[in-house]
């Protein structure tokens, strides 16, 4: 895997690559810029009252700090390194570190440049902090990042050998933790996974469509124009490519499960694009409070860390994903319906009364329920904290947790449809021509061909794994 440069301009794919184990390098120019900013911000903080450096934080923002900066910085980190619940997976922690390192290279925080090298070493040595699930509200992942700082200083154990830094001063303590890097990093991972599932959904739909002899007029340029909605053209083109050449349809007009897929999936594709754009905006920008305007040599106190836009984009994506679910259920029901397939109910074989794919439909319905639960907008929540000093929260951190749940449910839902679509094509003896759809069916041929009533858990597990490969046909 090539070295990934994190210098303030990294993109979503870079964060994903680091999360998956990629090694990182901070360019010399970024270290020099952060060093210059560090010296300037120390001077500015000595001249004007600066939140978190010369004052307390939260409701203590009016309390002047009179002792030395090192003691204040350590107290701040130790008091904020509080989280609870289950430990987050290594991949999410690495994504957080990648985002934070990239943000710090934007040189607006005033952090000591030694922190950049320490983060670089932490990632390349895979000596990670332990981060737990509960602490963030969408106005800064304070607990996770304070815990990371304590790990870098050797006060908390890392997951591997790590040379500890010396104690941090207040000129690095608050600047380092003043970020939503964990939420943003997890969002990058969600976007990456959903992008693959979005493409895989088109392949699974196309297999069901061909098995049910759907009417391709729903994919025509005229139908796309009539939809007058973003994303429809992208999805329709994906499916047209898969279904060429078209075959004679079985019906003049199909049920919604086949007929409105481009519109429903297009809405999700568009929402996912919006989420990706917002995640890309915030993963490389200095949002620390206070922010140091280096050109103007001023200290800027602000609320840019309030991730309302990211939270709304996550909510929008979760809602758009949930509304695709009923159409997947519709296609699964069509696959199980003898009047549409000419085959036995639930594509069962063997003795009369065999259940076939009956319970796969139940599994799909359970996944749909989880999709809907995860779509409850986190942005509707609010909370007042720190004696009213922070009277609202975006809860973007909760929205990304819900998105992670939705990813798992959506993968299960698509896997249920894939198992049914492959069985339908096999039982009908459909011969697919060479091309993308033939390639998709060849990949799916890894699914067992035994249609007798049996335990289908392994089939669904395999189908979920196949979705990543189907994304690229």
3-state DSSP of 263-314: HHHHHHHHHHHHHHHHHHHHCCCCCCCCEEECCCCEEECCCCCCCHHHHHHH
Reading the chain (473 residues) residue by residue, the pLDDT tens digits are 679 999 999 999 999 999 999 999 999 999 999 999 888 888 877 777 767 676 767 656 666 676 676 788 888 899 999 999 999 999 999 999 999 999 999 888 889 999 999 999 999 999 999 999 998 888 889 999 999 999 999 999 999 999 999 998 888 888 899 999 999 999 999 999 999 999 999 999 999 999 999 999 999 999 999 999 999 999 999 999 999 998 999 999 999 999 999 999 999 999 999 999 999 999 998 888 877 877 778 888 877 888 899 999 999 999 999 999 999 999 999 999 999 999 999 999 999 999 999 999 999 999 999 999 999 999 998 787 777 767 678 889 999 999 999 999 999 999 999 999 999 999 999 999 999 999 999 999 999 999 999 999 999 999 999 999 999 99
CB 417 within 8 A of CB 360: no
Residues with Cβ within 8 Å of 391's Cβ and at least 6 positions away in sequence, in order, are 384, 385
Q: Give the pLDDT score at 365.
A: 98
CB 168 within 8 A of CB 74: yes
Q: For residue 224, with 0-12 CB atoms within 10 Å meaning exposed, 13-18 middle and 19 or more buried, which class applies? A: buried
CB neighbourhood size of 108 (10 A): 23
Q: Give the pLDDT score at 52.
A: 64
Give me the phi and psi of 298, to 5 degrees please: -130, 160
CA 8-13-17 angle, to 5 degrees, is 95
Largest pairwise CA distance in the chain: 86
Half-sphere exposure (CA, 13 Å, Cβ side) for 329? 17
Q: Give the pLDDT score at 169.
A: 84
Q: Compute the distance between CA of residue 4 and CA of residue 12 in angstroms, rounded to an integer.
A: 12
Q: Give the pLDDT score at 140.
A: 86
Q: Compute the distance between CA of residue 234 and CA of residue 256 in angstroms, rounded to an integer.
A: 19
Q: Give the pLDDT score at 326.
A: 98
- Partnered with residue 325 across adjacent β-strands are none
Q: Give the pLDDT score at 159.
A: 97
| Bond before 245 cis per omega within 30 degrees | yes
- Partnered with residue 87 across adjacent β-strands are 132
Q: Give the pLDDT score at 346.
A: 98
Q: Are strands 84-87 and 24-25 parallel, antiparallel or unpaired?
A: unpaired
Residue closest to 144 by CA, chosen among 161, 156, 162, 154: 156
Residue closest to 428 by CA, chosen among 441, 443, 446: 441
Residue closest to 53 by CA, chosen among 139, 223, 173: 173
Q: Give the pLDDT score at 61.
A: 60
Give me the phi and psi of 399, to 5 degrees please: -60, -35
CB 346 within 8 A of CB 355: yes
Q: Give the pLDDT score at 440.
A: 98
Question: In what helix (H) or strand (E) does residue 25 lie, and over which residues does it extend?
Answer: strand 24-25
Q: 171 in helix, strand or coil?
A: helix
First vs last C-alpha separation in the chain = 24
Question: pTM for the full model?
Answer: 0.95
Q: How far is the CA of 348 from the CAs of 209, 288, 418, 448, in angstroms? A: 20, 60, 16, 14
């Amino acid at each position: 895997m090539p070295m990934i440069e994190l210098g303030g301009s990294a993109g979503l794919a870079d964060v994903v690559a680091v999360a998956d184990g990629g090694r990182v390098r901070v360019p010399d120019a970024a270290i020099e810029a952060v060093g210059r900013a560090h010296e300037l911000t120390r001077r500015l903080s000595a001249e004007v009252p600066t939140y978190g450096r010369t004052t307390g934080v939260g409701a203590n923002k009016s309390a002047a700090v009179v002792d030395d900066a090192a003691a204040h910085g350590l107290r701040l980190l130790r008091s904020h390194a509080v989280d609870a619940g289950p430990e987050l997976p290594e991949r999410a922690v690495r994504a957080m570190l990648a985002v934070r390192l990239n943000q710090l290279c934007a040189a607006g925080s005033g952090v000591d440049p030694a922190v950049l090298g320490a983060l670089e070493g932490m990632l390349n040595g895979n000596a990670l902090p332990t981060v737990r699930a509960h602490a963030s509200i969408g106005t800064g992942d304070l607990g996770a990042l304070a815990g990371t700082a304590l790990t870098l200083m050797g006060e908390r154990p890392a997951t591997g050998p790590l040379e500890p830094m010396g104690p941090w001063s207040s000129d690095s303590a608050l600047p380092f933790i003043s970020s939503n890097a964990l939420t943003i990093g997890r969002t990058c991972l969600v976007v990456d996974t959903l992008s693959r599932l979005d493409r895989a959904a088109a392949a699974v739909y196309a297999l069901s469509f061909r098995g049910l002899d759907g009417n391709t007029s729903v994919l025509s340029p005229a139908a796309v124009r009539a939809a007058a909605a973003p994303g429809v053209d992208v999805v329709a083109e994906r499916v047209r490519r898969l279904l060429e050449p078209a075959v004679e349809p079985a019906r003049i007009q199909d049920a919604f499960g086949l007929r409105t897929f481009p519109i429903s999936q297009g809405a999700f594709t568009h929402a996912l694009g919006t989420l990706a754009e917002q995640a890309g905006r915030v993963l490389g920008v200095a949002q620390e409070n206070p922010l140091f305007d280096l050109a103007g040599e001023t200290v800027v106190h602000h609320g840019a860390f309030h991730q309302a836009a990211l939270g709304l984009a996550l909510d929008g994506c979760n809602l758009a994903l949930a509304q695709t679910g009923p159409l997947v259920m519709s296609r699964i029901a069509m696959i199980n319906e003898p009047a549409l397939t000419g085959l036995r109910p639930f594509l069962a074989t063997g003795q009369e009364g065999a259940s076939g794919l009956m319970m796969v439909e139940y599994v799909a319905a359970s996944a749909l329920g989880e999709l809907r639960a995860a779509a409850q907008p986190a942005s509707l929540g609010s909370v007042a904290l720190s004696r009213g000093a922070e009277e609202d929260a975006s809860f973007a951190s909760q929205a990304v947790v819900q998105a992670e749940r939705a990813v798992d449910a959506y993968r299960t839902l698509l896997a249920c449809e894939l198992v049914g679509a492959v069985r339908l094509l096999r039982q009908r003896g459909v011969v697919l021509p060479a091309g993308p759809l033939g390639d998709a069916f060849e990949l799916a041929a890894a699914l067992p061909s035994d249609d007798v009533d049996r335990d289908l858990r392994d089939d669904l597990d395999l189908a979920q794994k196949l979705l990543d490969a189907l994304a690229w046909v």
